[in-house]
């Protein structure tokens, strides 16, 4: 399978390029990936002449043909666009306009091979996700008329320079894992806690018991009204903000099977003394109705893949209650080994 990752920004070494590079490297481990920048191509604006409405091709003959050839050649398309005045950069908008011969609102129109999957990533300097959603909307509108299936998107706020991308690395890698899963037809994937999925996240978190086999949920039974603030805190914690004294930054992921949340997994981004001798890096919870289906083992594998790139320690630390053999089994299946034990728990480690 081929994957095309597009830097929709004219800057070749900025934040967008950094995100493109992470996505390219992640996808290239599984697919034949290629990264391009919209500035690699030189093409004219759409003149609005509408000749293409009759001829299904453009009257201009320029570099545009080379970029559309990349679209034709690929199965997976990932457009990564920064906000320029709350929209996609003009260079990318000019490209979209030139795709009018392919637009499915008029006949005849040119057609890409069917079955292509499209993903969108938006980034911006400001803190509000609404603007990212607007950019994602522009890209997904474009995909829709090109008959490219919209399969997922990611919005990244508070990113101005490429150094700011590092804070989002785990999120970007999780997004790539989602792309891999969807494209391979297996639909179990991790998604960081986010405001787009708040209704499903609320119902899931509300029902996780306060303490089940050592997985602690301070939000058990929470009201929908209070969950707005709770989610805000959960997301802030992943950035190292709003943390109680002595706590380390923690990213909370939901484990999705297709469009249903089946579990919640938390990654503590590094260890402090109490975590070294206690809960370790990862907490995981699978909803009772989805147990015994391998979701624990698979979900753990997904979060371990992320942890490998995030935690600075040599090994990934886990702890499991002795009366929870299913979780121990999931850890051992993921190459965990029992490092030591006490009366209640096994302390498991996984080499990075």
Is 129 a binding residue for ligand FMN by CB under 6 A? The answer is no
Taking the complex as a whole, how short is the minimal distance between the CB of residue 176 and ligand FMN, in angstroms?
18
Burial (0-12, 13-18, 19+ Cβ within 10 Å), 249? middle
- Member of 3, 4, 5, 14 binding ligand FMN (CB under 6 A): 14
Is 159 a binding residue for ligand FMN by CB under 6 A? The answer is yes
Taking the complex as a whole, how short is the minimal distance between the CB of residue 77 and ligand FMN, in angstroms?
19
Residues 313 to 332 in contact with ligand FMN, rule: CB under 6 A: none
- Member of 1, 11, 94, 222 binding ligand FMN (CB under 6 A): 11
CB-based contacts of 87: which residues, under 8 Å, 6+ apart?
Answer: 93, 134, 135, 138
Q: Verify cis geometry, omega within 30 degrees of 0, for the bond prior to 325.
A: no
Is 310 a binding residue for ligand FMN by CB under 6 A? The answer is no
Q: Is the dihedral of CA 240, 190, 182, 109 positive or negative?
A: negative
**Dist CA 339 CA 352 (whole Å):** 15
Taking the complex as a whole, how short is the minimal distance between the CB of residue 159 and ligand FMN, in angstroms?
5
Q: Using CB under 6 A, which of the segments 15-23, 42-50, 264-272, 282-290 binds ligand FMN?
A: 15-23
- Nearest by Cα to 140 from 112, 117, 172, 108: 117
Question: C-alpha angle with apex 308: 120 to 12, nearest 5 degrees?
Answer: 40
**Dist CA 257 CA 171 (whole Å):** 18
Residues 79 to 108 in contact with ligand FMN, rule: CB under 6 A: 82-86
Tokens of 309: 């790139």
Measured from the CB atom, the residue of 91 and 297 that comes closer to ligand FMN is: 91
Residues pairing with 34 in the sheet: 4
Identify the H or E element spanning 295: helix 295-310
Q: Using CB under 6 A, which of the segments 62-70, 119-127, 195-203, 269-277 binds ligand FMN?
A: 119-127
Is 120 a binding residue for ligand FMN by CB under 6 A? The answer is no
Question: C-alpha angle with apex 113: 108 to 119, nearest 5 degrees?
Answer: 110
Strand segments (E) across the chain: 2-7, 32-37, 76-82, 117-123, 149-156, 188-192, 211-212, 215-216, 250-257, 260-268, 282-286, 315-321, 336-341, 345-351
- Member of 4, 16, 121, 267 binding ligand FMN (CB under 6 A): 16
Tokens of 305: 């893949």
Taking the complex as a whole, how short is the minimal distance between the CB of residue 86 and ligand FMN, in angstroms?
5
Measured from the CB atom, the residue of 145 and 162 that comes closer to ligand FMN is: 162
Is 160 a binding residue for ligand FMN by CB under 6 A? The answer is yes
- Member of 4, 8, 9, 99 binding ligand FMN (CB under 6 A): 9
Phi, psi of 51, rounded to the nearest 5 degrees: -55, -35
Taking the complex as a whole, how short is the minimal distance between the CB of residue 15 and ligand FMN, in angstroms?
4
Residue nearest to ligand FMN (CB): 14
Q: Using CB under 6 A, which of the segments 21-29, 77-85, 222-230, 271-279 binds ligand FMN?
A: 77-85
- Member of 91, 125, 257, 321 binding ligand FMN (CB under 6 A): 125
Measured from the CB atom, the residue of 194 and 321 that comes closer to ligand FMN is: 194
Measured from the CB atom, the residue of 86 and 326 that comes closer to ligand FMN is: 86
**Dist CA 287 CA 293 (whole Å):** 11
Per CB under 6 A, residues contacting ligand FMN are 9, 11, 14-17, 82-86, 123-126, 131, 159-160
């Amino acid at each position: 399978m081929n994957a095309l990752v597009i830097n929709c920004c004219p800057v070749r070494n900025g934040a967008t390029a950094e995100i493109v590079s992470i996505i390219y490297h992640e996808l290239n481990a599984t697919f034949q990936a290629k990264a391009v920048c919209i500035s690699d191509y030189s093409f004219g604006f759409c003149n609005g002449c509408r000749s293409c409405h009759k001829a299904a091709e453009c009257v201009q003959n320029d570099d545009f043909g080379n970029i559309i050839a990349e679209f034709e050649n690929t199965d997976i398309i990932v457009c990564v666009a920064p906000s320029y005045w709350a929209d996609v950069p003009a260079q990318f908008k000019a490209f979209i306009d030139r795709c009018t011969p392919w637009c499915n609102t008029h006949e005849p129109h040119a057609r890409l091979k069917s079955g292509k999957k499209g993903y969108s990533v938006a980034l911006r300097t400001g803190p509000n996700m609404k603007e990212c959603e607007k950019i994602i909307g522009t890209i997904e509108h474009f995909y829709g008329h090109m008959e490219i299936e919209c399969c997922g998107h990611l919005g990244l706020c508070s990113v101005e320079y490429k150094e700011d991308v590092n804070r989002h690395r785990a999120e970007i890698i999780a997004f790539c894992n989602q792309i891999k899963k969807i494209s391979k037809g297996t639909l179990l994937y991790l998604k960081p806690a986010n405001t787009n999925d708040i209704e499903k996240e609320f119902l899931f978190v509300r029902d996780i018991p306060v303490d089940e086999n050592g997985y602690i949920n301070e939000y058990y039974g929470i009201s929908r009204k209070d969950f707005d603030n709770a989610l805000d805190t959960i997301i802030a914690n992943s950035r190292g903000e709003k943390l109680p004294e002595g706590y380390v930054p923690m990213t909370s992921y939901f484990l999705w099977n297709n469009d249903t949340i089946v579990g919640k997994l938390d990654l503590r981004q590094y260890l402090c003394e109490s975590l070294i001798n206690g809960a370790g890096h990862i907490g995981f919870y699978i909803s009772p109705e989805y147990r015994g289906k391998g979701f624990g083992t698979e979900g753990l594998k997904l979060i371990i893949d992320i942890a490998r790139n995030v935690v600075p320690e040599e090994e990934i630390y886990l702890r499991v209650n002795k009366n929870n053999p299913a979780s121990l089994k999931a850890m051992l299946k993921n190459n965990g080994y029992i490092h030591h034990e006490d009366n209640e728990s096994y302390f498991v480690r996984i080499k990075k």
